[in-house]
């Protein structure tokens, strides 16, 4: 359920972009992200830090996009979010006892510390590469191409890394047994 809710703002953004323009789509993105946070609060009596961070960055960059009537602001949002994720994962990789990925998943998955560090590093590098890829596509391709890639390309890449991570974890669990 939570995964579907997290994808919903992107779908709404895509629909409104195709029906209107990037400015209306940015407004719809802000509203949808805010409603998702409210929905989480009503359903779970809490809002995930990631969803809250996402809402504030969407609201900030979306507002700038609408206010200045300049699509460059919303294009930078995903780069900054992915860069922050990459840096946080790297900090946890090298300066804490447990990587962030391990903290989120260790209750359900039992693998070695080295495996957790490999997974954490892979996700950090993934977010770094996605932030660079977003800059490239946002500023070297058309706005429409960027919107399509933002919604479908990044979603596909993320699902692929989730799949690869799951296969790696299952392989390690089977190997350790």
Predicted confidence (pLDDT) per residue in 18-48, tens digit: 999 999 999 999 999 999 999 989 988 988 8
Q: What is the pLDDT, as a whole number, of residue 50?
A: 83
Centroid of chain to Cα 60: 16
pTM higher than 0.85, yes or no?
yes
Residue 50's alpha-carbon distances to 68, 70, 138, 170, in angstroms, are 27, 26, 23, 26
Phi, psi of 99 (to 5 degrees): -65, 155
Question: What is the rounded distance in angstroms from the CA atom of residue 134 to the CA atom of residue 77?
Answer: 10
Q: What is the pLDDT, as a whole number, of residue 143?
A: 97
Q: What is the pLDDT, as a whole number, of residue 49?
A: 85
Q: What is the pLDDT, as a whole number, of residue 174?
A: 85
Q: What is the pLDDT, as a whole number, of residue 172?
A: 87
- Residues 6+ away with beta carbon under 8 Å from 6: 36, 51
Q: What is the pLDDT, as a whole number, of residue 1?
A: 59
Q: Mean pLDDT, consecutive 10-residue segments, the chain of 177 residues?
A: 79 97 98 94 88 93 98 95 95 95 90 95 98 97 97 95 96 83
């Amino acid at each position: 359920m939570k995964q579907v809710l997290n994808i919903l703002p992107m779908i709404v953004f895509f629909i409104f972009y195709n029906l209107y323009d990037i400015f209306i789509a940015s407004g719809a993105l802000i509203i949808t992200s805010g409603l998702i946070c409210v929905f989480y609060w009503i359903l779970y009596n809490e809002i995930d830090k990631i969803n809250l961070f996402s809402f504030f960055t969407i609201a900030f960059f979306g507002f700038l996009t609408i206010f200045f009537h300049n699509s460059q602001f919303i294009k930078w949002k995903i780069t900054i979010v992915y860069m922050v994720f990459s840096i946080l994962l790297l900090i946890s990789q090298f300066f804490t006892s447990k990587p962030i990925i391990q903290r989120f998943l260790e209750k359900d998955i039992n693998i070695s510390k080295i495996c957790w560090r490999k997974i954490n590093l892979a996700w950090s590098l993934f977010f770094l590469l996605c932030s660079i890829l977003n800059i490239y596509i946002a500023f070297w391709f058309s706005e429409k191409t960027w919107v399509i890639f933002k919604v479908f390309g990044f979603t596909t890449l993320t699902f692929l890394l989730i799949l690869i991570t799951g296969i790696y974890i299952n392989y390690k669990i089977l190997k350790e047994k």
